Copies of this chain bind each other. A is one copy, B any other.
Amino acid sequence: MVALSNLSPGRIWDTSRQSRAQRIAAGSTYARGKLVAPKDATKLLGAVIRPGDRVCLEGDNQKQADFLAARLAEVDPSVVKDLHIVQSGVVLAEHLDMFEAGIARKLDFSYSGPQGEAIARALKAGKIELGAVHTYLELFSRYFVDLTPHVALTVARCADRDGNLYMGPNTEDSPVVIEATAFKQGIVIAQVNELVDKVPRVDVPGDRVDFVVVAPEPFYVEPLFTRDPAQITETQILGAMMAIKGIYEPYGVKRLNHGIGFNTAAIELILPTYAERLGLKGKIATHFALNPHPTLIPAIESGWVEQVHSFGSEVGMDDYMRARPDIFFTGRDGSMASNRMYCQSAGLYATDLFIGSTLQIDLAGNSSTFTKDRIAGFGGAPNMGSDPRGRRHASEPWLKAGREAASLGTVLPRGRKLVVQIVETFGEKLVPTFVETLDSIELAKSLDLALPPVMIYGDDVSHIVTEDGIANLLLCRNAYEREQAIRGVAGYTDVGRARDARAVEGLRARKVILRPEDLGIDPLDANKSLLAARSIKELMHWSGNLYDPPAKFRNW
């Protein structure tokens, strides 16, 4: 018993429980049972939140606790101040107003969406002290280690008087946020659309929820994953054909995640046409970790898709998913059930391929969506777009990719995730996608970030697909080959024009680079007739009118 002298006999071990009891008592002034009137919400927040608290104000990828955000922005900053905001999505104006007012000071987050430029400005002006930009999964993980929230402000469709919450299809981040908060003696406050006698299903048990406020308006949800097929270009269709013929087919990719761009929407829309003619039904793209993309409807209706687990929901898709329980995860109430933590984990460990688009790719294959003036956030892409080195279960695509990478000289055989970047050589406004140096390197310098923000590191990328060809980086033997493989599919960009023509031809001879013709694809075939649906309206028809597109996508 050498060190018993170190013991602090007077130490109190339940300061968090005592603090919680005091906060609950203070908040209860404004509550009847757990119910707080909307007019008292600001006072409630002022009573339960303390300076310096870590606060998660959901703030997800899609759904927003917008009423509570507006109320928190109204508290007296001389009382509630210096908060440490720990939430995945910082996308509302109110999220930044709090920093402006001094209510909040430090920020740890994942995704910024429309607020990317405002966050960069606030950082430069010293209004925000940046903790870090995370992927979703690592932020959720830190909730259990060193970023546990003291207060969680969550959002649900309805609650009963015991505080049981029903999120329906938009469960998203809530279960993990609430578990970390409630089980570490934090305070959980829920904004709900309505109060009911009995919730349709219990997404979060009431004994984890302290206060419930019925908001005057339903919570805001952004239709982030709706891509209008009418905007898909023929170049994107060509890229989609190449991805299917050059990657999905030879590797036999069944379990996968798609990014949210038009490139991957094009893949979804030519499964029932182009891939059908290739005889690939049942052989590729059967199991998805994916939000319910409306552009997936034709593939589902044509029997391509066996199962989809989702991070969150998508506006207008509720009735469709309810009618397709064999495909989607649905609760006993019939509506879809999502879970961002579980689905991100599935995207990391249980899929064989991630494919997504990006803004910039450098000569080593590193990519970024951060620009000089914009902190875009990471979201989930770096998590799913990385080789999970802790994976131990084998699958055919994973073993084949591993064999290709093994030519690099590893001793033991090992599998490898397929991580595909699918881009056009020139992006919007004809800005080249391929660059010598990522803009995010300059951003990192100007903001004094610990590391330049990279969405996906080049050594995690297995393939780059452009209208110019596919570069298989697994087969490159050294950095020079990798650079030339990338230049070789970079088209008429400066990066592409600076290729070593002989090296590129050598790579093509070794099938490190595949041109459309090498895959038997005639670019002239890449036209809109290949799209199973060419408009939002056609998606709606495919769904038997179960898909109910948001107003902004209805142009008829």
The residue in A327, A346, A453 that gathers the most chain B C-beta atoms within 10 A of its C-beta is A346
Within 8 A of B (CB), among A309-344: 309, 323-327, 329-332, 337, 339, 341-343
- Contact pick for A207, options B15, B332, B413, CB 8 Å: B332
With A13-B325, A341-B342 known to touch, is A387 a contact of B385 (CB < 8 Å)? Answer: no
Q: Judge whether B451 and A2 touch: CB under 8 Å.
A: no
- Contact pick for A208, options B184, B332, B339, CB 8 Å: B332
Q: Judge whether A325 and B133 touch: CB under 8 Å.
A: no
With A325-B185, A457-B414 known to touch, is A303 a contact of B389 (CB < 8 Å)? Answer: no
Contacts of A392 in B (CB 8 A): 132-135, 138, 378, 382, 453
Q: Judge whether A383 and B393 touch: CB under 8 Å.
A: no
Q: Judge whether A145 and B307 touch: CB under 8 Å.
A: yes
A393 to B140 Cα, complex, angstroms: 12
Binds B, one of A35-43, A113-121, A151-159, A347-355: A347-355
Q: Judge whether B452 and A413 touch: CB under 8 Å.
A: yes
Q: Judge whether A330 and B4 touch: CB under 8 Å.
A: no
Q: Judge whether B205 and A202 touch: CB under 8 Å.
A: yes
Q: Judge whether A325 and B391 touch: CB under 8 Å.
A: no
Q: Judge whether B389 and A137 touch: CB under 8 Å.
A: no
Does A219 sit within 8 A of B, measured CB to CB?
Answer: no
Does A450 sit within 8 A of B, measured CB to CB?
Answer: yes
Binds B, one of A26-34, A175-183, A492-500: A175-183
Does A193 sit within 8 A of B, measured CB to CB?
Answer: no
Does A201 sit within 8 A of B, measured CB to CB?
Answer: yes
Q: Judge whether A413 and B451 touch: CB under 8 Å.
A: yes
Does A530 sit within 8 A of B, measured CB to CB?
Answer: yes
The residue in A14, A137, A183, A542 that gathers the most chain B C-beta atoms within 10 A of its C-beta is A183
Binds B, one of A62-70, A426-434, A507-515, A531-539: A531-539
Does A302 sit within 8 A of B, measured CB to CB?
Answer: yes
Does A552 sit within 8 A of B, measured CB to CB?
Answer: no
Q: Judge whether B350 and A303 touch: CB under 8 Å.
A: no
Bits for A481-499, please: 1 = Cβ < 8 Å to B, else 0: 0000000000000000000
Q: Judge whether B132 and A394 touch: CB under 8 Å.
A: yes
Contacts of A138 in B (CB 8 A): 349-350, 388, 390-393
> Chain B residue with minimal CB distance to A199?
B207
Does A412 sit within 8 A of B, measured CB to CB?
Answer: yes
> Chain B residue with minimal CB distance to A205?
B202
A145 to B393 Cα, complex, angstroms: 14
Contacts of A1 in B (CB 8 A): 532-534, 538, 541-542
Within 8 A of B (CB), among A1-35: 1-4, 6-8, 11-17
Does A84 sit within 8 A of B, measured CB to CB?
Answer: no
Prevailing SS type, chain A contact patch: loop
- Contact pick for A13, options B145, B289, B327, B452, CB 8 Å: B327
Contacts of A454 in B (CB 8 A): 412, 414
Does A360 sit within 8 A of B, measured CB to CB?
Answer: no
A171 → chain B closest CB, angstroms? 10
Q: Judge whether A3 and B532 touch: CB under 8 Å.
A: yes
Does A294 sit within 8 A of B, measured CB to CB?
Answer: no
> Chain B residue with minimal CB distance to A415?
B451
The residue in A2, A108, A185, A351 that gathers the most chain B C-beta atoms within 10 A of its C-beta is A2
Q: Judge whether A323 and B146 touch: CB under 8 Å.
A: no
Does A399 sit within 8 A of B, measured CB to CB?
Answer: yes
Contacts of A451 in B (CB 8 A): 394, 399, 412-415
- State the A residues within 8 Å of B (CB): 1-4, 6-8, 11-17, 108, 131-135, 137-142, 144-146, 148, 164, 176, 179-180, 182-185, 201-202, 205-208, 254-255, 272-273, 276, 287, 289, 298, 301-303, 307, 309, 323-327, 329-332, 337, 339, 341-343, 345-346, 348-351, 364, 366, 378, 382-394, 399, 410-415, 441, 450-454, 457-460, 529-534, 538, 541-542
Can you list 26 residue pairs at the A/B interface with Cβ under 8 Å? A1-B542, A2-B529, A2-B530, A2-B531, A6-B272, A14-B325, A14-B326, A132-B394, A134-B393, A135-B390, A138-B393, A145-B351, A184-B307, A185-B330, A202-B206, A348-B390, A364-B412, A366-B411, A378-B392, A382-B390, A383-B390, A386-B389, A394-B450, A412-B451, A412-B457, A413-B451
